[in-house]
């Protein structure tokens, strides 16, 4: 009888200790690693919330199985069927991209994703497509960890090389110039899929028909969006010809980019950088 009573008291003590531990040390995902799963959550306790101007974008339809991943410099919603991100979000500040850390080109499969739900290096070899950054490495040249994480393939899509190294690189540079001017920008980048689906590699990594980039100046309540087809494009510094409507991108992607607000359209945002 005494032995049973002692066992019961010991079990009760363990339960009490567990409850006290949870009360004083709640569990939270680390800022540099994988966040929770699903499309509407993944950031239940505000993990990576600093990457979004108006809340974490939510997805419906094709992104139902997507997984939210929180990195040190960006956040992404990765689709395990398409093997690409549905969006990648950054909070770009004036002091970022100061060139203190050289580009390392150390591409690697995402360590937080299992084989079968991610792109592999072999998928891109001989494919005819670049590993196109959604959050560009040059945005993180002030921090070695951010730079390294930007080379995860979960931050990439198969991109036309002429486009990637030409006009798209120019748009990325214009975003950085805009950030230096206004001091604080939120950026959302991702793929568009229209028409018959094309894939590369044994993992069947989906090739986008186009790419979008949304630039948000929260302080002055301005935003501009751009959409470019994923093909060889003539290089230009006037990106206004690719100006797009955020609502149209939302309809095509099934994403709500501002669940806690509204994205205003204003072509005056960094006109000197983007044109128009």
CA dihedral 172, 177, 179, 183 (to 10 degrees): 170
3-state class of 234 per DSSP? coil
Query: Do residues 83 and 119 lie in contact, with contact meaning Cβ atoms separated by under 8 Å?
Result: yes
What stretch of H or E contains 106?
Answer: none
Q: Give per-residue burial for 262-271: e unless 16+ CB within 10 Å, then b.
A: ebeeeeebbe
Query: Do residues 114 and 203 lie in contact, with contact meaning Cβ atoms separated by under 8 Å?
Result: no
Distance CA 170, CA 213 (A): 13
Q: What is the DSSP letter of 10?
A: H
C-alpha distances in Å from residue 102, one per residue of 80, 97, 141, 151, 261: 31, 10, 6, 13, 37
Question: Is residue 133 annotated as a catalytic residue, yes or no?
Answer: yes
Instruction: Using alpha carbons, select from 152, 172, 153, 187 the residue that is nearest to residue 228.
Output: 172
2 is annotated as contributing to ligand binding: no
Catalytic residue among 51, 133, 180, 213: 133
Distance CA 88, CA 38 (A): 15
Annotated binding site: 164
Active site (catalytic) residues: 133
């Amino acid at each position: 009888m005494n032995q049973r009573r002692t066992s019961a008291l010991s079990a009760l003590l363990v339960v009490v200790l567990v409850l006290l531990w949870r009360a004083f040390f709640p569990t939270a995902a680390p800022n540099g690693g994988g966040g929770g799963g699903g499309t509407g959550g993944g950031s239940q306790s505000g993990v990576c919330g600093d990457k979004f101007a108006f809340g974490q974008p939510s997805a419906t339809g094709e992104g139902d199985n997507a997984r939210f991943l929180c990195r040190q410099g960006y956040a992404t919603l990765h689709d395990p069927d398409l093997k690409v991100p549905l969006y990648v979000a950054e909070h770009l500040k004036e002091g970022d991209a100061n060139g203190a850390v050289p580009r390392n080109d150390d591409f690697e499969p995402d360590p937080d994703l299992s084989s079968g739900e991610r792109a592999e290096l072999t998928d891109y070899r001989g494919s005819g497509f670049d590993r196109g950054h959604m959050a560009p490495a040059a945005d993180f040249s002030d921090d070695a960890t951010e730079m390294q994480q930007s080379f995860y393939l979960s931050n990439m899509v198969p991109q036309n090389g002429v486009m990637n190294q030409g006009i798209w690189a120019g748009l990325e540079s214009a975003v950085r110039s805009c950030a230096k001017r206004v001091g604080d920008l939120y950026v959302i980048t991702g793929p568009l899929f229209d028409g018959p689906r094309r894939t590369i590699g044994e993992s069947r990594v989906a090739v986008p028909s186009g790419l979008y980039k949304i630039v948000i100046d929260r302080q002055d309540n301005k935003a501009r969006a751009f959409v470019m087809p994923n093909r060889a494009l003539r290089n230009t510094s006037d990106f206004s010809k690719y100006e797009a409507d955020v609502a149209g991108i939302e309809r095509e992607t099934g994403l709500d980019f501002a669940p806690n607000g509204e994205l205003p359209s204003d072509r005056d945002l960094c006109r000197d950088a983007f044109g128009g």
